[in-house]
A and B are shown apart, each in its own frame.
Chain A
Amino acid sequence: AAGVIQSPRHLIKEKRETATLKCYPIPRHDTVYWYQQGPGQDPQFLISFYEKMQSDKGSIPDRFSAQQFSDYHSELNMSSLELGDSALYFCASSPVTGAEQYFGPGTRLTVT
């Protein structure tokens, strides 16, 4: 069965640079969620989109923005990167809001 696809899987950036993470949800899933997991931490919810509109907002820094496109894929844009942004970034999708969320393999971002 098709799963959530995230790209790139690994990304190394320097401080103050920008990064763009991409997420392709499971086919026919219209809702996308972004999470950040720091070392030894639990995943923290950042933001979600339903039918291309922002739905819920968690602990997403102002330096980050995200959007969902007409084909339902989503991109997380991160600017002025800081060392503390180094983490695993997961995308999840669900077929309808409130249902189970299915996670992608994650993008490991390292900021040096």
Chain B
Amino acid sequence: DQQVKQNSPSLSVQEGRISILNCDYTNSMFDYFLWYKKYPAEGPTFLISISSIKDKNEDGRFTVFLNKSAKHLSLHIVPSQPGDSAVYFCAAEWESGGGADGLTFGKGTHLIIQP
């Protein structure tokens, strides 16, 4: 049972345009959400996170939006650059549950930025 779902295995966007990556979750206990970027043969790199008490968090070109009622979050990258081409993983955890909880990952979206 996939508790974090990324329904688009791949996404192609033109350089300079906005990239929007989507993520849905089913477990209502999740209260902290993260996006990671991963290149082949490397570990996931932390990009941005958001707590469930917020609906938006922005860091440079990256913005994450959270819609708790819909159990949906999205990552916006503006403007998209060639170096953004990678696999993006959405992850979630139950932070307020205490302890060092493991992250639950989606299956990833391969973002391809076209020149």
* A contact set with B: CB distance below 8 Å: 4, 31, 33, 35, 41-50, 55-56, 58, 90, 92, 94, 97-98, 100-106
Contacts and interface: CB of A to CB of B under 8 A. Distances in A.
Contacts of A92: 43
Contacts of B106: 42
Contacts of A106: 41-43
Interface stretch (B13-21, B44-52, B69-77): B44-52
Contact of A100 (B46, B98, B99, B107): B46
B89 interface: yes
A31 to B, nearest CB: 5
Contact of B102 (A42, A50, A58, A103): A58
Of all A-B residue pairs in the complex, the 4 with the closest CB atoms, nearest first, are A45-B102, A103-B43, A55-B100, A42-B105
Interface residues of B, number: 25
A92 B102 CA distance: 10
Given A41-B107, A42-B107, A45-B104, A50 B43 contact: no
A98 B101 contact: yes
A100 B100 contact: no
